[in-house]
A and B are shown apart, each in its own frame.
Chain A
Amino acid sequence: MNLLVAISIGLREIAAHKFRTALSMLGIVLGVSSLIATMALTRGIEDGTRIFMQQMGGLELVSIVNKEPSSRKYEFANLSPGRTLRDAEAIRRSATFISHVSPEISLATAVATDGGGNPDRRMVRGVYPDHFVIAMHQIAAGRFLTALDLERGSRCAVVGDTVAKNLWPGIPPPLIVGKSILIDNRPFEVVGVLPLYEMEEQARARRSGRSLSRRWDPFRQKNETVLVPFTTMFHELRSGAFPLDSLETMKLETLTVRVGDLDHFRPALDQVRRILDTTHRGVDDFDLETRQDWFDRMESSVRAARLSGGLISAISLVVGGIGIMNIMLASISDRVREIGIRLAVGARQRDIFWQILIESILVSLLGGLLGILASLGLIEILKTIAPTENVPVLTPDSILLAVGFALAAGLLSGLYPAAKASTIDPITALRYE
């Protein structure tokens, strides 16, 4: 008996029992569609993460973060001044592989125009000029903060697009430069305005007049920022809040450095670590966090999501397989007589075996096909729910994988019924009513 005949017999059998077949396929349909949807979803999250990471800064960036010192050094922990401006200065002076250093302190405070009006509460950051490079800023109008601003502690500020638009609605950035604002009731001069940062998708939506306001905006923080020189921040704003700190001893909120050349990434980290070992007096209360670490962390959470989704799909595929096996067993006891007749006219046991196995595979493949169609719909629904940057991405390999799983489910669940059918005794079968 050739394959074609077996397939046509199988198809006829499926067509003759549409409802029963549909029920037995349900598990496969669910399994395949959820598998494809999960893969599309995690792929979307991966893509979104990658884009986000690219836009938030490249691999060259390294954050210096606080860490609990090891227990061996715990008793000396007080000797360490923690992350201070001295760290930043020491790195800038001595770490040759580091191109930019950006220490940062911030204060949430009132920002208003000097003409009065309602103040907005904004996060005001005291930064170094290097912040421009490290935070991947551009400038829409005016200039960024300079070393001179830092040295003098000038009262100048660079404002984000949202801040500018809120304070001076309808006024273009070049006309905002030179205006005066009140930060915590102290007058500052706006020397620069940042452009509007947005995702490609948001830009498209804005141009076409659609609204994407519901979406989470990774650039919100950048767009709502107010940047002032680090020294100004300390003397004019922070010293009032923390009177016991000096510029040198004040704890930094963030300290980010940029490696000049990725080829010298490891040596650069070593340099930074050695310098900080000195400034922290040997207390290991800091850690270097690379963007690769971020990547790895996100990747591992994506992997976990994919795994759990895959597990659920696998379970429903197993359930689907059991469903098929159940139906095939029922179908065999319905067809004992048919099997007996086929044996009587010369079918070999293996002919019957293949006939049942192929029928089972056909059911699962059909289920897989329907599952693919269902997953297309499911992905469309997910597209409207998922954040734009994590929009699900359907990949051909996920479809192949799902079909492979469906095939395997059909094959495995068909084996037992096929073996059972092929060992039916023809004489008993012919007497069977």
Chain B
Amino acid sequence: MSLIHLEGLSKVYRVGDQEIRALNEVNLRIEEGEFIAIIGSSGSGKSTLMHLLGCLDTPTTGRMEICGNDLAKASNDELARVRNREIGFVFQAFNLLPKLDVVSNIALPLIYAGVPSRERLARAKKAASDVGLGDRLANRPPQLSGGQCQRVAIARALVNNPRILFADEPTGNPDSATGRMILEMFDALHASGKTVVLVTHDPSIAARSRRVIEIRDGRITREYAP
């Protein structure tokens, strides 16, 4: 059984009298351990797809199964649980809490997983040192560089040991030192068996994956291996 299974998935937004079909009958299967890139220009529907896959939203019609959970008509609590346990999300804008230090930022998902505070701290510290930030635990995001923030975001996404890692435009320039390091990190995660889904507009970043899915006008138009 596939880790992610989408069938006839549509998302329709209503703006006044107008219907905007952001996703139109999308079918997609992603197996455990895959390294996939979803590529598309702005307005193609890739963000909508990513929000659905990330359980931040529910589809208008169609089937959506993630990690064995039928989420097409799931309640908010159910979506929250899947977001918390099964999915790690690395946002384009990092989305760290500026008032919290590195450890607390990384430990955030564990709070909502009900992990006791001592264990939270230990796991957050380990996740921080896994991404090479073991010496930055007490710093707060404004004191970190962009690359460091990105690594905090990755550590936070991984701390609850999710089965799928989503990354939305994980790096700007894939040839910069930071970009290379981030992409290497994804390679390593893939190698360790984690399912990785990159969402990007940049074909050179998508080329790092094993399978590229191209989206245009709310439909999957092309699928290829780089």
Q: Which residues of chain A have a CB within 8 Å of any CB of chain B?
A: 1-2, 4-5, 12, 16, 337-338, 340-351, 426-427, 430
Contact = CB atoms under 8 A, between A and B. Distances in A.
Contacts of B108: 341-342, 345
A233 to B, nearest CB: 86
Contacts of B210: none
Contacts of A2: 114
Nearest to B93: A430
Interface string B77-117: 10011011100010101011101000000001101111001
Given A343-B80, A427-B51, A348 B112 contact: yes
Given A337-B95, A345-B156, A1 B114 contact: yes
Nearest to B51: A427
B76 A349 contact: yes
A52 B77 CA distance: 65
B188 interface: no
Taking residues whose C-beta sits less than 8 angstroms from the other chain, chain B's interface range is 20 to 34
A351 B91 CA distance: 22
B84 A341 contact: no
A24 B170 CA distance: 41
B122 interface: no
18 contacts: A342-B112, A343-B83, A344-B54, A345-B84, A346-B84, A346-B85, A346-B109, A346-B113, A346-B160, A347-B80, A347-B84, A347-B111, A348-B80, A348-B112, A349-B80, A350-B77, A426-B56, A427-B51
A345 B109 contact: yes
B97 A338 contact: yes
Nearest to B81: A346
A125 B113 CA distance: 87
A430 B109 contact: no
B51 A16 contact: no
B57 interface: yes
Interface of B: 51, 54, 56-57, 76-77, 80-81, 83-85, 89, 91, 93, 95-97, 99, 108-109, 111-114, 117, 156, 160
A295 to B, nearest CB: 59
Nearest to B89: A344
A281 to B, nearest CB: 87
B99 A12 contact: yes
B56 A344 contact: yes
3 cross-chain pairs, A with B, having the tightest CB-CB distances, nearest first: A346-B84, A345-B109, A346-B112
Nearest to A422: B76
Contact of B99 (A1, A5, A16): A16
A429 to B, nearest CB: 10
A327 to B, nearest CB: 17
A424 to B, nearest CB: 11
Given A2-B114, A5-B117, 19 more contacts: A1-B114, A5-B111, A12-B99, A341-B95, A342-B112, A344-B54, A344-B89, A345-B84, A345-B89, A346-B83, A346-B113, A346-B160, A347-B84, A348-B80, A348-B81, A348-B112, A427-B56, A430-B56, A430-B95
A1 B120 CA distance: 12
A1 B91 contact: no
Contacts of B97: 338, 341
A349 B77 contact: yes
Contacts of B160: 346
Most chain A C-beta atoms within 10 Å of own C-beta, residue among B54, B76, B96? B76
A358 B43 CA distance: 40
A345 B112 contact: yes
Given A345-B89, A346-B84, A346-B85, A351 B95 contact: no
Contact of A348 (B77, B93, B117, B156): B77
Contacts of A344: 54, 56, 83, 89, 91, 95
A341 B91 CA distance: 10
B111 A1 contact: yes
A84 to B, nearest CB: 87
Nearest to A9: B111
B76 A1 contact: no
A346 B80 contact: yes
A353 to B, nearest CB: 12
Contacts of B89: 344-345
A348 B75 CA distance: 10
A427 B57 contact: yes
A337 B95 CA distance: 8
B80 A430 contact: no
Nearest to A433: B93
Contacts of A342: 108, 112
Nearest to B98: A338
A346 B87 CA distance: 9
Contacts of B56: 343-344, 426-427, 430
B95 to A, nearest CB: 5
B51 to A, nearest CB: 5
Contacts of A340: 95
Contacts of B76: 348-349
Contacts of A341: 95-97, 108
Contacts of B96: 341
